[in-house]
Structure 1
Amino acid sequence: MHLLSFLRKSKTSNETSSLYGLDHAALNLPVPPPSMWMNLGYWKDTTDFPTACAALLDQVLITASLLDENGDATSHSTEKRLRLLDVGIGCGDQSVRILGYKRRMHGGVAANDNSDLDGNIKDMTAPLFDSYVGITSIPVQAQFAKQRIESSKHSQSNLRAQIFCADAANPLSWDTKLKTSLSAAPPSHETEENWLLALDTLYHFSPSRAPLFKYTHSTLHASIMAFDLLLPTPKPSFWARLLLRILCLFAGTPYTNFLTQDEYTALLVDAGYDLSKIIFRDISDDVFHGIAGYINSREEVLKAYGLGGSKGMKKYGGAGKLFGWWARTGVVKGFIIVARA
């Protein structure tokens, strides 16, 4: 109390107002935060960032027919095994959500264990994926993700979840432990499905997505589900593409990763995927307006609590303007892509 009194007497009236305003919010913020999501989000029915980020993940799995329109896992036989390689997991929020997905199963179980009084087999629930391998290239995020998963309520029922720090863009660089954690045997279409998930990350891959796509098809025999950024057809004007190229230099993102739908399709077909089994779903209208508006309003909210003006928020302020440009002009589009093996 004596220290606070001294500070109060030694400040100007404006500074005193700030000290005894709202900026003590910094002393109340939970560390670590309850969520550490980081993607562009799906903003159709929300203005909340973590909710939008989780919704984007759900929309990818809905498009892949692994979740229904309500976000519930679709029904599978108990004989069916689903395995997932998740690249670009960030701090593990999407991992925890994925490990919490439950699927309804039917058939293939002993009647004395899972039957009603009339001997009919009852539906069961189990984790959607029988095994989960997550990859991030940032060591501190890999460690944080491991801690998040271990402390989550789903950890005990998902003991096969594994997290690795590796460059997902270069499968040849993966160590033996990571490679052996993934099944190299072609799955039986009746009993097994392998999937690659890439949520809002592939456009960062250097030099391109091609090595991962080829490895996914030829070695993992896996289907792909992703949210990615594409160029519209026809391509934007020369000046718009030049500006995008300059922004990519600052962001450290290869400009050559920005492809049209036809070019992206050719990349998948070259990796071995069947043209008839590739789906593109444009969700741009529910992505860019929402994330731009959220970032632009976030600075004002933080300022009210004396937390605005930080270096980090200035960086995201620039991103907000970029996403707003994409929303207004359609220079870049947000697509969900599914390619079945």
Structure 2
Amino acid sequence: MRVVVKTLSTVGVFVGLIESSPINGTAGYAFILIFLFIGIAVVVSAVIDGLYAVCRRKIEIYDSSHVMLNIASQLSTWNNMGLWTHTAEFVPAAIALATKLSDAVQLQLSDDLLDIGIGCGDQAKVYAPLSKSYVGITSLAAQADMARSALASADCANNAKIWTLDASDPATWPEEILLSVGSPNKIIALDCLYHFSPSRARFLAFAHDILERTHDTKKCHVAFAAEDLLRGPNLSRIHSLALNVICKLSHSPAVNFVTQHDYATLLHNAGFTPDSGWTVTFEHVSDSVFPGLCEFIARRSSDKGVGKYLTFSKYTTFGKLVSWWHANDIIRAYVITLTKQ
């Protein structure tokens, strides 16, 4: 069918151009016709193939869309690596990691919280009820919409605002949004900083400045907690090369995968220094994160999924990769907490 459409379209365009063209009777007329026909055929073929691909994709998506009618309204969309100390299931593990960060900053009902990298809003539903005011940041508009809906359905949207922003560069945030962010005394970054481009340095400097300003004006306890991924301390050249490949595959800048010592230097350069009253702690949690995640993925790897789009196959490969980097101490998971009384 496509061949017929391409042929008819090419001939139609060719005849139309010839009839309106002044080249008839000129030297090399036959060669001009040949090259013109070939050129039209190539262009028409590419256009039709593109349209066919788009239409086919739309049809395939539509054919699968009814799956959404069968998903419960309380759908979970957690997307962190989890803390698997007391569970073997993904959602409780994801909640446990989120809770570990809120415990690290000692989140209270009197606090103003800035939450970075919120995904589709599951962590917002955990944190917003625990704080006086909540501001969540995500770089994806679709996720921001889902987060707002999640907060509304959980009846905790009154004290919450969700913004679509590039958290890796707060200097690009509009003034009105900076005003709405206000003066948070607690900041949480759950499983997201290693994705920041070109690095996490700009956000760390922003976090320091805004927390210092809050501390100076409100005279209150301020804190910042992040679950982040760092590189192992003694990588071979082969493992360093492998880490660079992992970074490419995961769209994470390789410069973000530094050692704990170099991360401490980043924090110091951002202003989080003991001399200015900051306490910095690193908790190595790899053994509570990676093995449990890998075991869960291995257990789920036999799931058939729904058709060829909603499958578990990519996570099977990811699980093997995580198991390998953990066994070779290539990547480590840390909970980093910064506090100032």
The answer to whether the superposition gives a TM-score over 0.5 is yes
Q: 1:270 to 1:31 in 2, by over 3 A?
A: same
Q: How far 1:329 moved relative to its partner?
A: 1.9
1:105-140 Cα offsets, whole Å, 9 max, x none, are xxxxxxxxxxxxxxxxxxxxxxxx111100000110
Higher relative contact order (CA 8 A, sep 6+): 1
Opposite residue 56 of structure 1, the aligned amino acid is L
The aligned counterpart of 1:30 is 71
Q: How far 1:212 moved relative to its partner?
A: 0.8
Q: How far 1:178 moved relative to its partner?
A: 1.6
Contact 2:105 2:223 in 1 (8 A): no
Q: Distance in 2 between matches of 1:289 and 1:309?
A: 28
State yes or no: 1:61 paired with 2:107: no
Contact 1:299 1:308 in 2 (8 A): no
Q: Distance in 1 between matches of 2:68 and 2:206?
A: 48
Opposite residue 99 of structure 1, the aligned amino acid is A
Q: 1:182 to 1:154 in 2, by over 3 A?
A: closer
Q: 5 Å matches for 1:73-222?
A: 81-101=110-130, 129-155=131-157, 159-184=158-183, 194-221=185-212
Q: 1:90 to 1:150 in 2, by over 3 A?
A: same
Number of matched pairs: 263
SS of 2:333's equivalent in the other structure is strand
Which residues of structure 1 form unaligned runs of 5+?
1-25, 67-72, 102-128, 185-192
Contact 1:288 1:326 in 2 (8 A): no
Q: How far 1:44 moved relative to its partner?
A: 0.8
Contact 1:230 1:260 in 2 (8 A): yes
Q: Distance in 2 between matches of 1:151 and 1:85?
A: 21
Indicate the larger mover: 212-221 or 137-146: 212-221
Match of 2:82 among 36, 41, 50: 41
Opposite residue 91 of structure 1, the aligned amino acid is C
The aligned counterpart of 2:227 is 227
Q: Distance in 1 between matches of 2:105 and 2:232?
A: 22
Q: How far 1:314 moved relative to its partner?
A: 2.5
Contact 2:105 2:186 in 1 (8 A): no
Q: CA RMSD in A?
A: 2.2
State yes or no: 1:248 paired with 2:247: yes
Opposite residue 228 of structure 1, the aligned amino acid is D
Opposite residue 225 of structure 2, the aligned amino acid is M
Q: 1:244 to 1:229 in 2, by over 3 A?
A: same
Identity %: 35
Which residues of structure 2 form unaligned runs of 5+?
1-66, 213-221
Q: Distance in 2 between matches of 1:64 and 1:280?
A: 13
1:236-287 Cα offsets, whole Å, 9 max, x none, are 1111110110121122110110011111111111111124600101111010
Contact 2:105 2:337 in 1 (8 A): yes
The aligned counterpart of 2:294 is 292
Opposite residue 206 of structure 1, the aligned amino acid is S
Q: How far 1:100 moved relative to its partner?
A: 3.2
The aligned counterpart of 1:307 is 306
1:170-200 Cα offsets, whole Å, 9 max, x none, are 001112232011225xxxxxxxx71110000
| Length-normalised TM-score, structure 1 | 0.72
Opposite residue 320 of structure 1, the aligned amino acid is G
